[in-house]
Structure 1
Amino acid sequence: MDTIRKINNELTIAGQIDSEELKKLADEGYKSVLNLRSPDEMGFQSSEQLYAQLLGLHYANLPIKLTEINSLNTVQVFQKIVELPKPTVIHCDSSVRAIAMVLMYLATRQGMSLEQAFKQAENLGLLDDAIKVRL
């Protein structure tokens, strides 16, 4: 579970998680999984949703590519974070998308505008300077 990082009591980020990690997360009291990976990505675990649900976890898949992050899909991720029972693990393949989304979500919850949150994520190196984020 080296790729799993607890951000606060409600949110944890991770790279791709496997069935053993899902079981451990469920055993630790996690309630939800938000997968930011697309089914067409190499390494996407097609059985993850079924296994998560068998473990009693709520599951959502909102595919988002790092190069296509914009205000619309960011707000959709934020809404899903709000809706899912906590604690929630949010993951992608390497945790970069997950941490970018979680940090922007937390920044907006602390009063930053979405534009400021994007800038903060960019300053932390989470969004490539070449990516043109559309607000």
Structure 2
Amino acid sequence: MSNRKQINDQITVSGQPSESEILALPSEGFRAVVNFRTSGEDDQPIDPDQERKMVESAGMKYVHVPVSMDTISHDTVDQFRQQLEALPKPVFAHCKSGKRAGAMTMMHVAVENDMSGVETLAKAEQMGFECDVPELKDLVKSYVDQRSDASTVQNGNASN
């Protein structure tokens, strides 16, 4: 498993796990898996439907939120956040390299903790997430700024 990072005590993100790594997740305490890979992606050793069967046979909940740079949007993040709230914790989230999983989960954590978009990007970088896709950086910043209370205070838009 590549690029494994624990976001907090409820969420860990990673690159694509192998079949044996998926089956070992319950012994590590994980209770749910979120897969951000789209069906038919390059270098996809496990199809999302196969992964669902593996995860569920191991006694965990499974959610598939297919995300690509062409489909990611504020609505996609909102839908993921709603699904995440309903999952038993801790959650193991992944994509091919961990970048999409990291971005999606960092946006959730940032809004929950009233961070600004700039703070979120700085925290992500501090945690070792390298975002070399300008469109993804812009999406993270705009999403968090639109949904977080901290950004309205920092931008002087708070009502007195």
Q: Could you say whether these structures have the same fold, taking a TM-score greater than 0.5 normalized by the shorter chain as the test?
A: yes
Rg larger in structure: 2
Partner of 1:31: 31
The Cα of 1:130 is off from its aligned counterpart by 4.5
Partner of 1:128: 133
| Structure 1 moving runs of 4+ over 6 Å | none
CA contact (8 A) 1:4 1:12 kept: yes
Q: TM-score, normalised by structure 2?
A: 0.72
Give the Cα separation in 2 of the matches to 1:62 and 1:49.
12
Output the aligned Cα RMSD.
2.4
Letter in structure 1 aligned against 2:101:
A
Letter in structure 2 aligned against 1:29:
G
Structure 2 residue 101 is matched with structure 1 residue 98: yes
- Alignment gaps of 5+ in structure 2: 144-160
Partner of 2:83: 80
- Alignment gaps of 5+ in structure 1: none
CA contact (8 A) 2:2 2:16 kept: no
Give the Cα separation in 2 of the matches to 1:51 and 1:70.
29
The Cα of 1:12 is off from its aligned counterpart by 0.3
CA contact (8 A) 1:26 1:57 kept: yes
Greater length-normalized contact order (CA 8 Å, ≥ 6 residues apart): 1
Q: TM-score, normalised by structure 1?
A: 0.84
Task: Return the structure number with greater helix share.
Answer: 2
CA contact (8 A) 1:31 1:57 kept: yes
Letter in structure 2 aligned against 1:128:
V
Count the aligned residue pairs.
Answer: 132
